Amino acid sequence: MQQNKIDTCPFQEAMDLMSGKWTMTIINTLMAGKMRFKVLERSIPGINTRMLVKELKQLEKTGVLTRTAYATVPPTVEYALSEKGISLTPVLAAVQDWALKNMQTKN
């Protein structure tokens, strides 16, 4: 049985959208503008190719980013934030501000 959208918690919907380990990092990186796949991959230390592909597919499916493929040899693919993704900018800024204010130095 499908749940009505009215019954769905908006907070849970947002958390489901941003639940991937690398989701917020990818969105934050793409805030700089559109990027080719390899440039994006090199911009995110610690992510592997398989995980990046998985996260990008999910973000494209949810409408947070756009994927543009060009008919070149080798194929060129660019990723950019959609309007929905750009609307997350203040959310990421608030999270970054919170982190900066509450980071504790490691002893």
Indicate which CATH number applies to the domain containing 35: 1.10.10.10
**Does the model's pTM come out above 0.95?**
no
Assigned domain for 23 exists: yes
Assigned domain for 4 exists: no
pLDDT in tens, the chain (107 residues): 455 556 778 888 887 777 788 999 999 999 999 999 999 999 999 999 999 999 999 999 999 999 999 999 988 999 999 999 999 999 989 988 988 998 875 54
Query: What's the token pair of residue 104?
Result: 């504790």
Assigned domain for 5 exists: no
Assigned domain for 1 exists: no
Model pLDDT, residue 1? 45
Per the structure, the count of domains in the chain is 1
Could you tell me the residue range of the domain that residue 28 belongs to?
10-102
Assigned domain for 71 exists: yes
Q: 95 Cβ partners below 8 Å, 6+ apart?
A: 24
Q: 31, 81 in Cβ contact below 8 A? A: yes
Q: How many residues does the chain have?
A: 107
Assigned domain for 34 exists: yes
Model pLDDT, residue 44? 97
φ, ψ of residue 79 in degrees (nearest 5):
-120, 145
Q: Which residues of 69-84 are buried (b: 16+ CB within 10 A; e: fewer)?
A: eeeeeeeebbbebeee
φ, ψ of residue 16 in degrees (nearest 5):
-65, -40
